Every structure is written in C-alpha cells, then in structure tokens.
Amino acid sequence: MKTFALNHTQYVPSTKLTWREVHGELVAIDVNSGEYHVFNAIGKLIWLSIDEGCTAPEILTQIEMEYIVNKETALADLNEFLGDLCDRGLLINNSQ
C-alpha cells in the first residue's frame, strides 16, 4: 500500500467532478460517468481539507484532533481514502 499521508503532497479534485454539501453530507458527482459518491463524516473532513489546499500531513493532524484517534488509525484511514480516490481518478496529485 502506498503511504500518501506522510509526504507533503497536495491533492486537488479532478476537473471531472462537481460536489456539494447536501443535508450535512458531501456528495461528489463524476460529470463524465454520472457516478456519484457520498462521503461519510471523515471523508467529508478530508475532502473539504483538500479543497482548502491542505497537504496530507495537515489533514492527518486534523483527523487526529477532530476524531481523537491515534496516529496509526488516522494514517490508515487517510491512506485508504486518498488511495481509493486517486485510483479512481477523482483526486489528482497537484505536486507533480
């Protein structure tokens, strides 16, 4: 598994996505395929942090503080989320 959260990479949402907050949830729609993705609370925190320009280590710190979890749990959750969205082409590495 790649470790996304320990480098200072900055990610940006793909231009093929549009997203909105709906009734407290975050919904992202792939405008090309019509697929939509609903993010849970931690996914929403990560997504909004990415949109604000936070780096992966900054997001990791936010997760640890917001959810009062240990670093290993926060790191695993962030890596899984970033890896999945990068694999799907929904996030782009902005540091390349």
pLDDT digits (tens, 9 = 90+) for 10-69: 788 888 889 999 888 899 999 988 998 999 888 999 999 988 988 888 899 999 889 888
d(CA 59, CA 78): 8
What is the count of structural domains for the chain?
Answer: 1
Residue 75 resides in a domain: yes
Q: Which domain holds residue 49?
A: 11-89
Angle at 35 between CA 59 and CA 14, to 5 degrees: 45
Structure tokens at 13: 């949402």
Do the beta carbons of residue 4 and residue 78 sit within 8 Å? yes
Residue 51 resides in a domain: yes
Q: Is the pLDDT of residue 96 over 70?
A: no
Residue 4 resides in a domain: no
- pTM as predicted: 0.83
d(CA 32, CA 60): 30
Band of pLDDT at residue 1, cut at 50, 70 and 90: very low
Q: How far apart are the first and last CA of the chain?
A: 20
Q: Which amino acid is at 52?
A: E
Residue 2 resides in a domain: no
d(CA 35, CA 19): 12
Residue 6 resides in a domain: no
